[in-house]
Structure 1
Amino acid sequence: MRPTASELEILGVLWEQGPSTVRQVHEVLDGRKPTGYTTVLKLLQIMSEKGLVAREESARAHVYRAAAAREETQGQLVGDLVDRAFGGSAAELVMRALSTRPASQEELDEIRRMLDSYRGGAV
C-alpha cells in the first residue's frame, strides 16, 4: 500500500521518534504546521487499517509504530516511481534527480562509492 503525503509525514515522525501516541505525533506535526489532533487520530486509524502502522492497544493511550522500516517503504516508493515514470530505468531516475536538484559534493562522493561497490559486486 502506497502512503499518501500526509501519511508519509506521520511515518516520518514514527521513524524518528519510535512508537508514539497520537498526542506525541500530533505535537511534532503541529510544531511544523498547524495540524488538528483529530486529523492525526483519523489518519493513524486509516493507516492502521491499511497496514502502514501497527497499534498497541494494551495501554490506555494507543501507541502506534511504523509497520515497515523507512528503507523498506522508500524502496517500495522508488521502485514504483522507477516503473511508472521512468520505464523501469534506474539510470533515467538518477539522471533526472541530479538534473532537477544539484547534489552536494558529499552526496556525489556517496553516489560514486555506491556505484564503485556495484561495479565490484559488493552490493
Structure 2
Amino acid sequence: MSPLPDYRPRQLSLGPLETEILNIVWELGCATVKEVHERILSDPDRELAYTSVTTVLNRLTNKGWLSCYKKGRVFYWEPLVSREEARAIKSYEQLHQFLAVSNPDIVASFADSLDTASLEQLEAIASRLEKIRRQREEQK
C-alpha cells in the first residue's frame, strides 16, 4: 500500500498536455525542455512548439508538481511526487469528495450496487483498515 505523502501539489487538476508532460518527466526522472519536446515530437503526427513545452513545465512547477533548477545554462525539472504518490493523493481526494457530499444511505446504496469483485475489494480495504487501527492502538 502506498502511504499518503506529507507533500501535496497546490493544484491537483491537470489538463491533458500537463498530464502528458508530467508523465514524460516521471519516465525520465529529470528532464530538460529539449528532452520533453523531443519525446513529444517523436510521434510523427504531433506538433508542439518548444515554447509551449516550457510554458507547461512552468505551469506544473507553479501548481506544485515539479521543481526546477538551473545547472549552467540549462534548466532541469524534477517531479516533487512520484507517480504512485500522485495516485494515492488523487484517490484520497476523490474518496474524500465523495464522502463529503454523500450521506450514509447514498454511500451504502452505491456500495450495494457494486459487482462481486468490487465488493471483495471493499471488504479487503475494511479488513486492512481494521488491522491498521489495531496496530495503532497497540502502539499507544
Confirm or deny a common fold (TM above 0.5).
yes
Helix, strand or coil at the partner of 2:34? helix
Match of 1:118 among 117, 128, 132: 128
Paired amino acid for 1:67: L
Match of 1:18 among 16, 23, 29: 29
Please give the alpha-carbon distance, in whole angstroms, between the structure 1 residues aligned to 2:28 and 2:70. Answer: 19
- The equivalent residue for 1:59 is 72
Unaligned runs of 5+ in 2: 1-10, 101-106, 133-140
Unaligned runs of 5+ in 1: 100-110
Q: Is the Cα contact below 8 Å between 1:15 and 1:70 reproduced in 2?
A: yes
Q: How many residues are paired up?
A: 105
TM-score, normalised with respect to structure 2: 0.59
Identity, in percent, stands at 24
Larger Rg: 2
Runs of 4+ off more than 3 Å? 115-122
Helix, strand or coil at the partner of 1:46? helix
Map 1:70-89; keep pairs closer than 5 Å: 70-84=83-97, 86-87=98-99
Q: Is the Cα contact below 8 Å between 2:65 and 2:81 reproduced in 1?
A: yes
1:31 correspondence with 2:26 = no
Give the superposed CA RMSD: 3.2
Please give the alpha-carbon distance, in whole angstroms, between the structure 2 residues aligned to 1:121 and 1:62. Answer: 46
Helix, strand or coil at the partner of 2:42? helix
